[in-house]
Amino acid sequence: MSFSAIVVAAGAGLRAGPGEPKAWRNLGGRPIVRWSVESLLAAGAHTVVVVVAPDRLAAADDALAGLTGWIAAPGGATRSDSVKAGLATLDAPADEPVLIHDAARPFVGHDHIQRLLAGLGGADGAIPTLPVPDTLKRGDGQVTETVSRDGLWRAQTPQAFRLDDLRTAYRAWPAREEPTDDASVMERAGRKVAMVPGDPILMKLTYPEDFMLAERLSGTQRIVRIGQGIDAHRFGPGDGVWLGGILIPYDHGLVGHSDADCALHALTDAVLGAIAEGDIGQHFPPSDPQWKGASSDRFLRHAVARVGARGGRVLTADLTIICERPKIGPHRDAMRARIAELLGLPVDRVSVKATTTEGMGFTGRQEGLMAQAIVTVETPA
């Protein structure tokens, strides 16, 4: 049966934690949005409309490079706005089946699609469903009622409808209400929606832990990499030093092309080293005037984004600062919190230590300070 599809990938995915919107993160070395588009095209979709945030149109070209049969459309402020944008973009016969799918469910397969198309044969829509296995409670901090699970089902995507039927149902939907899925739009329009067997593999990636489970399900082997970074800067005129992403009052400053935060520079080199992508000077040459006085958190965020582009994540960071002055202890917790924020880690995975050289060398003579960082990173093999 000929069909088309709309993949909704315009959301921000705020609950997924720090990093790119979830549809653009890597899973098993491929962008998550690509998993669904590839599967729908392989199952026979003649056109897949990929609805993305307006500023992601170029990113869609990169994420889906090499695939044919798809087109991008700019999405809206809500999911339903994005679905309607996809419906408006799709050029297909009015009675053709169209599958609406959330990009955050990457493991859609041929069998799921065939079940939906078969279910659509005797109804106006078809959705994959799973029984609710857990006991349900109603309340707000305290249980007020145990809700029967009889007749309750979890709805998944993709969901199948005929193109013109869904367009008509959306036009009738109240403008100020946001539907929770496309089937509810058809239901309110009085249409018959069939339930077909769902599949736990059609999990929706919502929270950070979901991505770790998805990596295991993807069958992709992962490895842990270790990177080391070292940086040093001399003291110069000033009334404070940037160190570990915070400004520490001091009777000197640090001399450097950027803000001279050698702690963040060492961390940046450690992250880049873990994925064998050179060093900070290659990515941010000191000869380039745009980095004059730049905040070093930009460099570290860039390095973390490079890890994410490989489908990886930073696991831990251990930083040692070597200096006689300023004293690091009073600022240690603030540094850990800021570094954890930049790396997208809980604070208990970030260590900040300090030591001296007992008066020896340039740090002992208080001519400058030095930092050394070790970072562990997990990526697909």
pLDDT for 13 equals 60
Q: How many domains does the chain have?
A: 2
Inter-residue contact 223 to 235 (CB < 8 Å): no
- 279 and 209 housed in the same domain: no
298 and 316 fall within a common domain: yes
**Backbone phi and psi for residue 244, each to the nearest 5 degrees, phi listed first:** 65, 25
CATH of the domain at 178: 3.90.550.10
Is 205 in the same domain as 281?
no
Range of the domain at 68: 3-217
Q: Which of 217, 246, 267 is the last residue of a domain?
A: 217
Please identify, among 185, 217, 249, the residue that sits at the C-terminal boundary of a domain: 217
Q: Return the pLDDT at 30.
A: 84
Nearest to 308 by CA among 380, 224, 244, 375: 380
The two tokens of residue 346 are 């809980």
Task: Kindly state whether residues 102 and 239 are assigned to the same domain.
Answer: no
Domain with residue 237: its CATH number is 3.30.1330.50
Q: Does residue 212 share a domain with residue 226? A: no
pLDDT tens track, the chain, 381 positions: 799 999 999 977 656 566 678 888 888 878 899 999 999 999 999 999 999 999 999 989 989 998 999 999 999 999 999 999 999 999 999 999 999 999 999 999 999 999 999 999 989 999 999 999 999 999 999 999 999 999 999 999 999 999 999 999 999 999 889 999 999 999 999 999 999 999 999 999 988 888 878 877 877 677 899 999 999 999 999 999 999 999 999 999 999 888 999 999 999 999 999 999 999 989 988 888 888 888 999 999 999 988 877 778 899 999 999 999 999 999 999 999 999 999 989 999 999 999 999 999 999 999 999 999 999 998 877
So what's the pLDDT on residue 19?
65
Q: 320 and 349 in one domain? A: yes
- Those residues whose C-beta lies under 8 Å from the C-beta of residue 58, and which sit 6 or more positions away, are none
Residues 58 and 156 in one domain: yes
Q: Are residues 226 and 177 in the same domain?
A: no
Gyration radius of the chain's alpha carbons: 26
